[in-house]
Structure 1
Amino acid sequence: MAMLSAKRGIDMHSLCSNKVSKMSLVRCIRGRMIQIQIASNGWELNATTKQVLSLSNNKISGMLPDLSVFPSLRILNLASNNWRNTLEYQIADEVSDDWVPPFQLQELDLSYCNMDSRFPNWLQKQNNLSFMYLSNVGSLPPTPSWFWGKLQTLVSMTISNNNLTGRIPNLEINLTNYPEIDLSSNQLEGAIPSFLLQTAALHLSNSKISDLASFYAKKVSLTFWEGVDQFYKNPDMFLKSIDLSSNHLTGKIPTEIGYLFGLISLNLSRNNLCGEIISNIGNFKSLEFLDLSRNHLSGRIPSSLAHIDRLTWLDLSNNQLYGEIPIGTQLQTFDTSSFDGNFNLCGEPLDRKCHGEDPAEHPVLTIKSGDENSIFLEALYMSMGIGFFTGFIGLVGSILLLPS
């Protein structure tokens, strides 16, 4: 539940994680009170004042209550249940697709609810949403353009694992709350629209994104250098996490990405990126997680990478990098698996020595000053012995050669 549910004065009932299996709703005659009876326990609430309704993580398989009787509802959590038929049909039970809910939600969680391939069009009338979670709701149809406009009020959105198809439109919208957006494990394709650079965290892994062109956008580059475009104010400081792993990215890593100074996590693994690692990667002074593995990157590892002191996770494996691993405070502390699959890399922490490294110097024998006199005496005695022996041989030889 969001923080809102804990604030004083909010009228709420929560039945989260109770394994409730049956649910029935009886409306009172005047429509002001409803009684929800769960199993053998009675539970009464005043529908006109309730702001929070949370029934998540149960095993409810009955029909959904008529949500039209909750005009004050602000938080609705129906996640992880087994609603009869499809949830979208029940929410708009016996009404047209133009159904307008009487409430304005601030938080909505329908995760793991079967939407039966129907997009919740009633969300178009929800103008105050801060938190929205729609993960694992089935194979949703292509997302309508109006849906992306809802990001302008959001703080967090997850719509992962839904087989969403199509492209994300490049709209001119202002994400003032710098939301965390998770669109992973879908079938989205094409380029990343530049308005998503206004997020605090962008997760688009396991999709079909193929273009990083938004990082070249003129508006973005102007913002980095001059701050002249208020429309994209300071994305370099607010964007903390990018996950574009397991997509169809090709080409070089754009150098402009190096100006996202606030990045803490960058994952571009399992793509088809080529060229060199950007030389200004050392600009990521706050970077803690970097994964560029399983691409086709070549060239040397930039020396600036060795100066990122906060780096705790590094994976450059299975590329075509070569040369000596730069020496610094961090790179030599990582396991060799961080560099595996780059057969022309050398230097610590790998066992492969680089060509041209100075061979190990042999130890030079040194003589202590206290031993100098003894060495001199030994040499003197040796020379005297050799001289005596030579003179003795000469004397004996001359005697033998004298005539008898």
Structure 2
Amino acid sequence: MIPDAFSKIKSLAHLYLNDNEFDGGIPKSFDSMCNLKTLSLIWANLKGKFLGIIHNLTGCAQHSIKNLYLDSNQITGKLPDLSIFPSLRVLSLFNNHLNGIIPESLGKQSNLETLRLRDNSFEGVISETYFSKLKKLKNLDLSHTPLILNFNSNWVPPFQLERIFLRPCQLGPPQFPKWLQTQKNCYWLDISNSGISDNISHFCWGFSPQLQFLDLSNNQISGHIPKFSLEISNFPFIDLSSNNLEGEIPSFLFKVAHLNLSQNMFSEPIQSLCAIKNEFLIFLDLSNNRLSGELPDCWMHLAGLKILNLKNNHFFGKIPRSMGLLLGIETIDLRNNSFSGEIPSS
């Protein structure tokens, strides 16, 4: 059991009890912890209804708590009205057994900055009403829940998100959500497997220069990726695999650390690869496309490459000597192409 003794430490502000094997829930005595700002019980074997846990924090603690981390426990039940916690900034409940409909009252948490509800069994439709007063929201994670996000096409959010995780929520109409295109500070975006069926030219690539992660895979996105210079400085992870993208691969996409463009319909030669010198590119998967032509002889520009997958394309000609300069390479897959000649000694 979590000992009641913690509640006797009247000045206690931040309590972390992660990675434990407690029995039961949070003691009722915790409601008297008037200075408690952070309560973190991640992987703590908490059990019981979420409403009961909240009930044991509804004394003077409800006015002080700002950060509530209850991830990866065995908490069950529905999400109650949390507006009784006016100072709440972080609500993190992922990987529990919560279910039911998310109450609209969640949209009243005007101080909320981080909302993580992933890996639960919430259901129903989420509208813009749920976010009407969340002006400070920066991190949103609803991934791996069967939720449907259905926002008015002209809705402009009151917040600027930095991290967005919505895999595999259904994002309403199949077009790229317009509200997402208003988020200019976003550096982490995962909307993979979200039912998007649209031309990529309709999506404004207004990403933050601090882009770290972009996953649009497993949708029905079509068209040619626009050619422009994407100003990025962090060598991000980009996954556009399993879509219907076609044409040429723009050179700016090779300015990353991880690039997966497999299972598309790209068809042009990849000579644009030679325009980039990137020793931080570790993973490159262009397999299962319609790429053609001879491989460029500039692989020394990608000195850090470990995984290279070019299988199931229409490449032909000799394997370039510079491929032997990939000294850190662990996997090269060139099968089901039309290469000829000898494997270079390099």
TM-score, with structure 2 as normaliser = 0.74
Q: Residue 75 in 1 paired to residue 67 in 2?
A: yes
Q: Which stretch of structure 1 is more off in the superposition, 313-322 or 141-150?
A: 141-150
**Alpha-carbon separation, structure 2, partners of 1:216 and 1:59:** 43
CA contact (8 A) 1:107 1:132 kept: yes
Distance 1:290 1:141, change over 3 A: same
Which residue pairs with 1:368 in the alignment? none
Q: Mind listing any 5+ residue stretches in structure 1 that lack a counterpart?
A: 1-8, 27-34, 37-44, 93-98, 221-231, 361-404
Output one character per residue of 1:57-80: Cα deviation in whole Å (capped at 9) or x when no partner: 222223324133221110112222
The size of the alignment, in residue pairs, is 304
Q: CA deviation at 1:354?
A: 6.7
CA contact (8 A) 1:192 1:212 kept: no
**Alpha-carbon separation, structure 1, partners of 2:32 and 2:212:** 43
**Alpha-carbon separation, structure 2, partners of 1:64 and 1:155:** 26
Q: CA deviation at 1:254?
A: 3.0
Q: Match of 2:121, SS?
A: coil
Distance 1:103 1:250, change over 3 A: same
Residue 63 of structure 2 aligns to which amino acid in structure 1? Answer: P
Q: Residue 64 in 1 paired to residue 28 in 2?
A: no
Distance 1:125 1:166, change over 3 A: closer
Which residue pairs with 1:22 in the alignment? 24
CA contact (8 A) 1:261 1:285 kept: no
Q: Residue 292 in 1 paired to residue 276 in 2?
A: no
TM-score, with structure 1 as normaliser = 0.65
Distance 1:335 1:136, change over 3 A: closer
Residue 61 of structure 1 aligns to which amino acid in structure 2? Answer: K
| Cα RMSD, aligned residues only | 3.3
Equivalent positions of 1:354-393 (< 5 A) are: none
**Alpha-carbon separation, structure 2, partners of 1:335 and 1:289:** 10
Which residue pairs with 1:323 in the alignment? 293
Q: CA deviation at 1:265?
A: 2.5
Higher RCO (C-alpha 8 Å, min separation 6): 2
CA contact (8 A) 1:260 1:284 kept: no
**Alpha-carbon separation, structure 2, partners of 1:248 and 1:260:** 26
CA contact (8 A) 2:247 2:266 kept: yes
Equivalent positions of 1:2-401 (< 5 A) are: 11-23=13-25, 25-26=27-28, 35=29, 46-62=32-48, 63-66=52-55, 67-69=57-59, 70-84=62-76, 86-88=77-79, 91-92=80-81, 100-148=83-131, 152-167=135-150, 169-170=152-153, 171-173=155-157, 176=160, 179-188=162-171, 189-193=174-178, 194-213=181-200, 217=204, 235=207, 237-255=209-227, 258-262=229-233, 264-278=236-250, 281=251, 283=252, 286-305=255-274, 307-309=276-278, 310-328=280-298, 329-330=300-301, 337-346=308-317, 347-348=319-320, 349=323
CA contact (8 A) 1:21 1:61 kept: yes
Runs of 4+ in 1 over 6 A off after TM superposition: 351-355
Sequence identity (%)? 25
Output one character per residue of 1:26-49: Cα deviation in whole Å (capped at 9) or x when no partner: 4xxxxxxxx25xxxxxxxx73332
Residue 54 of structure 1 aligns to which amino acid in structure 2? Answer: S
Q: Match of 1:314, SS?
A: strand
